[in-house]
Structure 1
Amino acid sequence: MPFISRIQRQSDYNLFPSTVPIVIDNGASYFRIGWAGEMNPRVIFRNIVQRPRHKTTGETVTIVGDHDPALLKYFDCTRSGPRSAFDSNVVYQFEIMEYILDFGFDRLGANGSEIDHPVLITECVCNPVQSRSKMAELLFETYGVPSVAFGVDAAFSYKYNQQLGVCDKDGLAICPGFTTTHVIPFIEGEPVYRGSCRTNIGGYHITDYLKQLISLKYPHHMARFTWEKVEDLKMEHCYITPDYALEARLFQKGAKEAEDKTRCWQLPWIPPPVEEPPSEEEIARKAAIKEKQGQRLREMAEAKRSSRINELENELHGLEFLLEQLEQVEEDDIPSFLSATGYLSKQEIESALLKVTQSLRKSKGEPKGDQAESEEKTDPATNEKFPLVNIPDSMLTTEQLKEKRRQLFLKTTSEGRQRAKQKRSESELELERKNQQDEENRLYGENPELYLEQLRVKYKEISEKVEQRKRLKTNGNHTNGNNTSGGVGRGERLSAAQRERMRLLTTAAFDRGKGEDTFGARDEDWQLYKLMSKDNDDDDDGPDQDEAELTRISSRLQEVDPTFVPSSELGTSQPVEVPRIRPLTKEDFQIVLGVERFRCPEILFHPNWIGVDQAGLDEMAGVSIRRLPSMGQGVEERLTSSIFMTGGSCLFPGIAERLEAGIRMIRPSGSLIKVVRAFDPVLDAWRGAAAYAIDPQFLTQTFSKTDYYEKGEDWLRRYQLRYSL
C-alpha cells in the first residue's frame, strides 16, 4: 500500500544477522524502532494513522506519523482524521497497529513481509492479556517473527538509569506519559506490580487543556492553534510552580515578576499597504473625468427636458384646439362629440389644460405668478369645476348621476388636500415661532447654560413620557383579556379609554341579563356606540404632539449643543455608542501566555480540574507505598530515597521540586526523600530495552512461535519478563 512520509528508508537491514533482535518502543505518542545494542533508534514517528482520498484519482493513501503538510492540499482529509491504536495506553485497534508496524518495518529496511529477527516490544504496566495476545498473533502470523518478548517501558528506563547510577535498586518509578501516568515500586531491581497504580492523565490532556484556554482567550485565531503548534508551545513555555496559589496571586496583582514570566507568541502579520496621496496630475485627471461625466449627464438631462417640453406643448395645442372645436358644437351634441376624445365635459378639458400649463411652466422653470396662485386657490372650490354637486339627484340622468358622484369624490379629495396643506403650514409656522422664541431665550437670556440645561431636562421628560405611553399601549394590546396575575407594570394595566369601554360593556351585559332584551328600543341606547368609540384619554393627539415636540427639541439640541447625541429610538435617553472600526495592528496578532503557562501542567497534581476524579502524582506515590506488603524495616525509606521520574511529561521545569514537596507532606517528618529524573526521559526506555536485548541471556526471556501455537493464550497470561539477567 502507498505510504506518505518524510522519513528516509534504512539501507543496511541485510547487514544485521538474524540473531540481532529488533527493539520497538510502542508508546502512545511516538513509535521508535531500531536494532539491539545501538544507542539511538533508527526510525521515530508519531503513532497515528490517517487514510484520506486523493482529490483527483480517488485513491486511498495511508499517512503514518509525520507527513508533509504541503501534500495535504491534494487529499480530502475531511472524512479521515488522525487515528490512534491506543486507548488509555492500551492497544485495542490492531488494524491501525498493523499499518504502523508495516510502516516501521518498511522504514527500517525490511524487504517483504517476513521478519526473521527476534522482537522486543514494550507495553504498559499490567497490560490486559487480550491486548498482549492480539499483538503476539499479529507479530507471529502476519510478519513471521521467530520469537517475541514483552517488557514495560518504565522498567527498561529505570534499569538503564540504574546502570548509569542515577537511581538505586530500590525505588519508585513515576512515569507521566502521553495519556496515562504510572507509579511502579522497584525492590532489588525488579518491579512489584501489585504495588503499582495508574491515573488517566498525561501530556495529551495538558496539551488539550492549553488549546482550550488559548482558543477561549483568542477565538478569532482558532484556525492557527493546531495540535502540533500547541504541543510546541507547551514544551517551550509551560512550567510547574512550587506553590500554585502564590503564583496565581502574583499574576492577579500584576506584579513585576508576573510580567517577567509572561511570554508572547507573535503570529504572522503583514502590515496593510500604506496608500500614498495622489499626485497633482492624478487629481487633475480625475477632476477632468468627473467634469466630463457631469457634462454628459447635464446634456442628457437637457435633452430629456426638451423632449418633455415638446410633449407638453403638443398636448397643450391639442387641448386648445379641442376647446376651439367645442365652441362650435351645440350644447346637446357635446357628449356625443366628446365620446371619442376620452373627456366627459368641457370643465374636465379645462382642468386638464390647466394642469398641462402648470407642468409646462415647471419644466421651463418659470414662476407660477400671482394669477396662477389665485387660480389654484379658487379652482378647487368653484362651482364651475363641479357644476353637478349642488343639483338634486331627481333632476339628473343616469350618466349625470355617475358624473356627480365622481365630482363629489374629487371635490372631497381636493378639500382634504387643502386642509392638510393648511395644517402643515400652520405647524411649520408654529415650529418656526417656537424655534425663534428658543433662540431669543438663548441669545438674550440671563444664563445660556441654564437654558441649555432646561432644554436637556425637557427632552428627557418628554422622552420618558413617550416611552411609558408606548410601553403601556404595547402591554395593554398584548395582554388584554388575559389579566390573571393582577400585577402592575407587567402588561396588566389598561388605558383610560379601554377601562371605560370595559365598564360600558359590563353594564350593558348586566342590564341585558336581568330580563327581557329591550336594547335599542330607546334612542339613548344607541349612544353606547358613540361612547365606546370615543377615547377619553389623549391616545390620539397626545402621542403625536409629544413626538413632534421631542423631534423639535432633539433637532434644537443638535444645533446648540455639539456634544448631544440623540437616542436611537423614542424613550431611550442614553446615548448610543457608534461602533468604531480600526485597522488591525501587530498587537492584534500576539498570543500572550501568562497564567496558562503553569495552570495547564498543574492538572498532573489536580486531575479534578478537568473532570478526572483521580489522584495526582504526589498522592499516587503514597498510594503505591501503602499497597506494598510489610517487607521489614527501612523498605519505605529506601523507596522514597530514590524516586525516579521518566516519560515525556516529566520535562516540565520545577516538577521535581513540586513532587518532592508533595511527597514530603504525606510522609513522616524527617523522612529521606530524593527525586531524580532520567538522563533522557524520552529515549531512555528504548535505550534500556536495546541494552537488555543485546544480552546473551535475552533469548531465555522470549517465547517462540512454536510455544505460542502449543501453549496458547494461557501461557501469555503467566508470562512475565525478568529485568535482572
Structure 2
Amino acid sequence: MWFISLKSWNMFLTMGLNDWAPQLDHPIMMTECICNPISSRVKMAELLFETYGVPSVAFGVDAAFSYKYNQRLGICREDGLAICSGLATSHAIPFIKGEPVWDACCRTNIGGYHVTDYLKQLLSLKYPYHMSNITWEKAEELKMEHCYIASDYMSELQIFQKETKEAEEKTRYWQLPWVPPQEEAPSEEDLARKAAFKEKQSQRLREMAAAKRSLKISELENELCGLEGLLQQLDEVDEAEGTAVLARMGYLSRQEIESAALKVTQSLRKAKGESNEAEDKVDASLAEKYPLTLVPDEMLTPDQLKEKKKQIFLKTTTEGRLRAKQKRFEEETFKERQNQQDEEKRLENPELYLEELRSRYKELFEKVEQRKRQKTNGHHSNGHSSGGVGRGERLSAAQRERMRLLTTAAFDRGKGEDTFGARDEDWQVYKLMSKDNDDDDDKGQEEDEAELARVTSKLQELDPTFVPKSDQLPEHLPRSRPLTAEDYKIALGVERFRCPEVLFQPSMVGVDQAGLDEMAAISLNRLSARADIDESVKDRIAISILVTGGSSLFPGLVPRLEALIRQSRPYLSPLKVVRASDPVLDAWRGAAIYADSRGFSLQTFSMQDYYEQGEAGLRRHNIVYSLY
C-alpha cells in the first residue's frame, strides 16, 4: 500500500511512474480537509483513474488521522476534539467512540499563510527601504523562529506601548548585511596626480579656445575682405552693372553691404580684443551716408521721399545696433574692471574679501526674496492674502503710488466730495499711472539677481563649503547622514505576537470568521443538538482536546487556547488541551498506518465504482477511522 498527500506529487516518481509507462498498480490514500468541495474529489479521482490507472483510492481527513495516531500513543482519548490549524485553513472536529462527528465540525479560512503574510506586510510598512530583503520566505523563517502567542493580548500590547525594559528584552533583531564605508584621505600622490590632470585639461581647453579664436578671426577677415572688394567693385562700375552685381551677390543696396561690413568689423575688433574707438567716426559718417534724412519732406520729390524712408530705416537700424553694441561693450568693460578690483581685494586680504562676499550675498539674497514676496503677495491685495503681511508690504513702490493717486483724485478739488470723473481732464490721472515704475522695479530686480548670481559664483569658487540658500533643505526636513549598522537592523517587537493573534482574531486581516477558541465552543455547542449526546459526553470530549497542524507550534498557544475555551465552558468543568507529538507529520504517520492495515482494502473507492457510480459514489464515500 502507498500513501501520498495532495502536495506530494513528486512521490509519483518514486512509486514507479515514468513517461513511457504512466500507470500505478497499487491503491492510493489521499488526505483532504473537512468540508472539501466534492468537485475537488471528482477531479482528483478522474486524474488518478483515467490518467494514472490506479486500481482504487481512499479519501481521509488529515486532522482525523493525526488524532487517531496520537490516540494510539495515549496522548488523547477515544472521545475528544481535534483542533487542526494548517497552512490556509483551521478545523475543529469532535470525536465520539473514535469516529468524527461531521455534523458538529467547524472550519475557518485562516492559517499559517495568513500569519506569514501579515508579518511580511507589517515589516514592509515599518521598513519600506528594505522591502527587497523582506521576502515571503524570510518572513516565514522569522515567524517560525521568533513569533509566539501572548497569554493576554491587550496586556502584552501595553508593555510595548510603554516601552518598558521587558519590551526591550522581548524584542528580537535581524541584522541585514552591511559594509561600513571606508573613507581614506587622499595621498599626496593622488593630489598631485589630480592637479596635473586638471592642469593638463586646462591647457588643452586654452589651446582649443585659442585655435577657435584664430579660426574665427581668419573667417571674419576673409568676409571683410570680400565685402570691401565688393564695395570697390561697385565704385568702378556704373549704376546698371552695379544693380546686376548686387542681385548676383544677394544684396538689395550698397547700404546693406556697408552695414554688413560694419557688423563684421565690430565682430573682428571684439575677437581681437581691440577697443571700440572708431564708434564716433562711424556715427559721424551716418549723416554722410544718409543725407536725405536731414532734408525736409517739402524739398524732396516723391522718389526722394521713398529713398528717404529707406535711409531713415537703415539709419535707425544701424544706430540701434551700434547702441546695443556699445552697451554690451560697456557692460563687459565694467565686469572686467569689477573682476579686476575683486581680484586685487582678494590678493590683498583673502579672509576679509571672503567675509565681504558672504555679507554681500546675504544682503542681495534677502533683497531678492523680499521683492519676490512683495510681487507674490501683491496679487492677494483683495484681503485674501496670508496673515501677518501688511498691505504696504504687499505693494511695490509703483503700486503704492497708483493707490495714492486713486485715493486722492476724488478729493483734489478740496471739497471732500467724490466728484471724480465729472470732467474730462479728471481722467488724465491715468496717464500718470504708467508702467515705467514697474519697468524700473523689474529692471532693478534683474540687476540684483544678476549680481546675486555673480556673488554666488565667486563664493562657490573660493569657498568649497559654501551652499546657496536656494539649494539648502528646509529646516523641518532631515539632513542626509552616512548610513550605519542600525539602519540595516530589523526589529521585531510587537510583531512577534501581533501576527499569530490572527488565529484567535481573524478580523485583524479582514476575515470575518471565528477564531480557534470560538471554533471549539461552536463544535461543542453543535453536539448538544444530538439527542444521544448529554453533558457528560461533552465533559469527556473537553478533557481530550488535541491541537495539531503546523500553526500549533507557536509557543504559548496551548495555555492561551485552554484559557479561552474555559471561558465558554461551565464553571469548574474539566478541561484539558494538549499538543500532538509531532503536529506537522502526525497526519502523515496516521494515514500511513491506516493504509497499511488489513481493513484498508474494504475502505477504498475502486475504478469499477468510479465508472459505475461516478460523482454520486464519491459524494457518499467515507472511511471508518475506528478500524485503527
What TM-score do you get using the length of structure 2 for normalisation?
A: 0.72
2:171 pairs with 1:262: yes
* Corresponding position: 1:467 with 2:373: yes
Question: What's the CA shift for 1:303?
Answer: 4.8
Matches within 5 A, 1:47-86: none
1:610 is the counterpart of 2:509: yes
Asked if structure 2 preserves the Cα contact closer than 8 Å seen for 1:177 and 1:202, the reply is yes
- In structure 1, the residue matched to 2:548 is 646
Letter of the aligned partner of 1:392 in structure 2?
A: P
Of structures 1 and 2, the one with the larger relative CO (CA 8 A, separation 6+) is 2
- Once the two structures are TM-superposed, the CA of residue 250 in structure 1 deviates from its matched residue by 2.8
- Matching of residue 24 in structure 1 with residue 4 in structure 2: yes
Verify the 8 A CA contact 1:459 1:554 in the aligned structure 2.
no
Q: Among residues 389, 392, 395, which one is paired with 2:300 in the alignment?
A: 395
Percent of matched pairs sharing the same residue: 52
The count of corresponding residues between Structure 1 and Structure 2 is 567
* Contact in 1 for aligned 2:259/2:318 (Cα 8 Å): no
What displacement does 1:607 show? Answer: 0.7
Cα 1:315–1:234 change in 2 (3 A) is closer
> 1:459 and 1:285 mapped to 2: Cα distance?
38
State the 1:200 CA deviation. 0.8
2:568 paired residue among 646, 666, 674:
666
1:260–1:312 distance in 2 versus 1, CA, 3 Å: same
Q: Indicate the residue corresponding to 1:675 in structure 2.
A: 577
**Contact 1:388–1:407 (8 Å) recurs in 2:** no
Deviation at 1:716, TM superposition (A): 3.6
Aligned residue runs from structure 1 range 568-607, under 5 A: 568=470, 580=480, 582=482, 586-607=485-506
Relative to 1, partners in 2 of residues 1:402 and 1:119: Cα closer, same or farther, differing over 3 Å? same
CA distance in 1, matches of 2:163, 2:372: 48
Q: How does 1:66-465 map to 2 (within 5 A)?
A: 100=9, 103-110=10-17, 112-269=21-178, 277=186, 280=189, 294-295=202-203, 297-306=205-214, 340=245, 362-365=270-273, 368=275, 373=277, 375-377=278-280, 379-380=282-283, 383-384=287-288, 386-393=290-297, 394-395=299-300, 397=303, 400-401=307-308, 403-410=310-317, 413-414=320-321, 417=324, 463=369
Structure 2: runs of 5 or more not aligned: 340-354, 407-422
Shift of 1:173: 0.8
SS at match of 1:634: helix
Which sections of structure 1, spanning at least 5 residues, go unmatched?
1-20, 32-99, 433-447, 477-485, 504-522
Structure 2 residue corresponding to 1:704, chosen from 606, 612, 615? 606
**CA positional deviation for 1:617:** 0.9
The SS at the match of 1:254 is: coil
Distance 1:380 1:598, change over 3 A: farther
Per-residue CA distance 1:436-474 (angstroms, 9 max, x = gap): xxxxxxxxxxxx9xxx9xx9899769746633533654x
Measured in 1, the distance between the counterparts of 2:195 and 2:385 equals: 62
- Could you tell me how far 1:352 is from its partner in structure 2? 7.1
Which residue pairs with 2:414 in the alignment?
none
Shift of the 696–318 alpha-carbon distance from structure 1 to 2, 3 Å rule, reads: closer
With the length of structure 1 as denominator, give the TM-score of the two structures.
Answer: 0.64
Deviation per CA, 1:340-397, whole angstroms, max 9, x where unpaired? 48799999888777766665555555x63xxx54x42574366345433212345264
Closer/same/farther in 2, CA of residues 317 and 25 from structure 1, 3 Å limit: closer
Task: After TM superposition, give the deviation of residue 573 of structure 1 in Å.
Answer: 12
CA distance in 2, matches of 1:346, 1:137: 102
Moved more, 128-137 or 200-209: 128-137
More helix by share: 2
C-alpha change, 1:595 and 1:296, in structure 2 (3 Å) is same
* 1:405–1:241 CA distance, 2 compared to 1 (3 A): same
> Could you tell me which amino acid in structure 1 is paired with residue 603 of structure 2?
Q
Question: How much is the aligned-residue C-alpha RMSD, in angstroms?
Answer: 5.1
| Paired AA for residue 251 in structure 1 | F
SS of residue in 2 equivalent to 1:158: helix
Following superposition, the deviation at residue 598 of structure 1 comes to 1.8
Secondary structure in structure 2 of the residue aligned to 1:405: helix
Q: CA deviation at 1:659?
A: 1.0
Q: CA deviation at 1:108?
A: 2.9
Aligned residue in 2 for 1:63 = none
Q: Give the letter aligned to residue 165 of structure 1.
A: G
* Distance in 2, Cα, partners of 1:644 & 1:158: 7
Q: Which residue is equivalent to 1:17?
A: none
Equivalent position SS for 1:139: helix
Q: Deviations over 1:588-647 (max 9, x none)?
A: 444333322222111111111111111111111111111112623433332222221001
Matches within 5 A, 1:28-47: 30-31=7-8
Partner of 1:720: 622
Q: 1:196 to 1:336 in 2, by over 3 A?
A: same
Q: Is the 8 A contact 2:63 2:82 kept in 1?
A: yes
8 A Cα contact 2:88 2:109, kept in partner: yes
Task: Note if contact 1:389-1:407 (Cα within 8 Å) is conserved in structure 2.
Answer: no
Q: CA separation in 1, counterparts of 2:209 and 2:452?
A: 40
CA distance in 2, matches of 1:215, 1:573: 28
Specify the code of the residue in structure 2 equivalent to 1:263: R
> Deviation of residue 227 (structure 1)?
3.2
- The 1-side partners of 2:517 and 2:544 are apart by 14
Distance in structure 2 (CA, Å) of the matches to 1:312 and 1:458: 41
SS of 2:77 mapped into structure 1: coil
Rounded to whole Å, the distance in 1 between the matches of 2:316 and 2:597 is 118
| Distance across 2 between alignment mates of 1:612 and 1:696 | 43
| Distance in structure 2 (CA, Å) of the matches to 1:132 and 1:658 | 36
